[in-house]
Structure 1
């Protein structure tokens, strides 16, 4: 099973890729902000499964309104927070574009999260509705209040050379 790791003390040397790994390893479940066809806002909690070549990979079923929202308007904002009190918390936000990717990514998700088989046990038709997606980041930030000094850093992904190998489905 996937368990969240402790968030290490962060410093200015935190790279874009390390920031994305932090999201996967330490937050995992994030809130996605999307809009529907009328421009009305919606939020959903989604698990981020892994970071591959600077893109965050996750899955959702094509039966959810969330799926329709990201297929209709693929710019999203994600956020998450860890901590019990304001001064013991760390949070992040990330904006980017989401694209459906090859179903081959589902095999890796099942290896990472075997509980997916349990969630969809005896629901083979639901298992066939899962779709893999990649979030390509544009801009993000992290805010850490856990220590005497406040740590804040912004991440710009637009001007970073890409090594993306993710196959996007049209």
Structure 2
């Protein structure tokens, strides 16, 4: 899939591989969070260099603290954002397990990301690097450039997909209190119980607060 066609495709039709490819091909540079020895978060700007059905791939130097945290925790979270401003932005977030692959895929990653040869120009300098794979995880797509906003979730590597957000139960009495306070007008009131359109929900929680009978659940 080319970038032009990729950008023109309806987001809710994308599969997991396409979300991962969007991170690599359209955004590329991500902010990654890992935990230090005290359990506190540490962030780093990391380029995601390749993607396939098995996950995301990136490089780091073995002498960095980031490398140590990856090896110890074997877990990370990242956010990739594109857009000139808040209302034109697309964000893709991932939480998942990582493993070190060593030199595996190194030539392929350098070929696909030729700018790396300017940073590590010789074979000797490349020996500082190692390849990591995010091989199992959950992800979320959040698009503020659309009205109403678009939200979608995905998993890869066998991670369990769990329902997140706000849901209206059979306790709904159809009073309309939740719909009145929904900033995205994404609560369908044609039948009882009402239905929240998950693909447009901000997860703001207004519906939960407004419901007089406790019919809204947060999952």
| Bin for the TM-score computed over the shorter chain | 0.7 to 0.9
TM-score by length of 2: 0.65
1:48 is aligned to 48
Q: Deviations over 1:3-60 (max 9, x none)?
A: x878445432211111111111111111111001221210011111111332101111
1:84 is aligned to 84
Whether the aligned pair in 1 keeps the contact of 2:20 and 2:52 (CA below 8 Å) is: no
Q: 1:148 Cα deviation (Å)?
A: 2.5
Which of 9-18 and 57-66 deviates more? 9-18
Matched position secondary structure for 2:99: strand
RMSD: 2.0
Separation in structure 2 between the aligned mates of residue 117 and residue 12 of structure 1, nearest angstrom? 37
Size of the alignment, in residue pairs? 156
Q: 1:125 Cα deviation (Å)?
A: 4.4
2:27 is aligned to 27
Gaps of 5+ in 1: 161-170
Q: 1:113 Cα deviation (Å)?
A: 1.5
Whether the aligned pair in 2 keeps the contact of 1:37 and 1:73 (CA below 8 Å) is: no
Q: 1:74 to 1:20 in 2, by over 3 A?
A: same
TM-score by length of 1: 0.83
The structure with the larger Rg is 2
Which one scores higher on RCO, CA 8 angstroms, separation ≥ 6? 1
Gaps of 5+ in 2: 162-219
